[in-house]
Structure 1
């Protein structure tokens, strides 16, 4: 299973990301699930009482528009969109999904299109191949292997063949500095690559952002970024 791997992989140099190409493996993605996992709904123990669980709180996440601009224009499906910081800068027709109805409401108050997971499945936007890019930022580190695999299996069919997938997780400083005390496991390049390959994605690039990898021990904003590609049928 991917989660049994914990060592860090060496990332690619920080250079302008090329557009994803046609060299993806001929791996077929699973059909969309009838019930999509709720983005960011890791159930984690509370500090006060062992065994009790609570959902992740609403947090204003940083914007990841720069990563999307490197890939190119197109409609984005953002899983774990929070209050819409990134979604607000995406192309028309982009959609956010979040587990928390409060976050979804805040997105809609900003004029954005956002849904809870089940509401997305019932929406007219849930069409196979409807999006150019899938983005999941600061979500996967809260999930176990089975939840990650389920999330990618559920949402990848909504990305067109040849489309991009951007996965982002915090580095050391961001991981230990989570103000809510709910940070899950440390999810580095090795784990991200294992998740992507398990989902049938071709890994096009991994890099550290905004500064090179060593800064991740001190800078909370530094993150691991993986850019993958959905196979062409």
Structure 2
């Protein structure tokens, strides 16, 4: 589901608690403004997540919880941005900062989750940091569990100045293979890939399986 998200390593494009809070406020404002407030624009993305049958999800880079609220009731979100985590919690979601997650032995124990979701995060990171982020959370996913990676297509990528790297199907496959995942499928959502040149909410989706 499209959402401006902050990666694990940086709280906001400029950094710092004040910037984190400002960034989170912008996310909430965008979510409640214009056509998004009047029409069920997120319905296709909710359906896409639910049809994947992800079970208990670890949502890394959860932001204010737009995806997390459509995951199983025992799912957990992680984000570096403390303001975003606070907003997600205020919505009744279970969310932690990266430091809180890592310090909790029950949360971070091996195989504690059925699936890992990393949506609209990788385009903010270098290849090396993407690999580090993915491999640091993979131990928390059970054997046979799913890993879902989602990135924006061309129009979406160019719509956000905080994006630093375009990650298409080739980039997603390379990352998944380097992390030792078995690729189950890749697909363009909600429209064919050609639409991604003009429709900024079109996404690349990869579903991988943990050995």
Q: What are the equivalent positions in structure 2 for 1:35-184 lying under 5 Å apart? A: 39=8, 41=10, 54=15, 57-58=23-24, 59=27, 64-123=45-104, 124-178=106-160, 181-184=161-164
| SS of equivalent residue, structure 2 residue 156 | helix
Q: 1:189 aligns with which of 164, 169, 175?
A: 169
- Structure 2: 5+ residue runs without aligned partners? 1-6, 32-41
Larger Rg: 1
Query: Cα 1:196–1:217, aligned 2, differ >3 Å: closer, same or farther?
Result: same
More relative contact order, 1 or 2 (CA 8 Å, 6+ apart): 1
Is the Cα contact below 8 Å between 1:71 and 1:164 reproduced in 2?
no
Alignment RMSD (CA, Å) = 2.0
Alpha-carbon distance in structure 2 between the residues aligned to 1:172 and 1:202: 26
Paired residues in the alignment total 184
TM-score by length of 1: 0.73
For each residue in 1:32-83, what CA deviation from the matched residue of structure 2 results, as whole angstroms up to 9, or x when unmatched?
xxxxxx6262886xxxxxxxx5478333586843333222151000001011
Alignment of 1:200 onto 2:157: no
TM-score by length of 2: 0.81
Q: CA deviation at 1:184?
A: 1.1
Structure richer in helix, relative to its length: 2
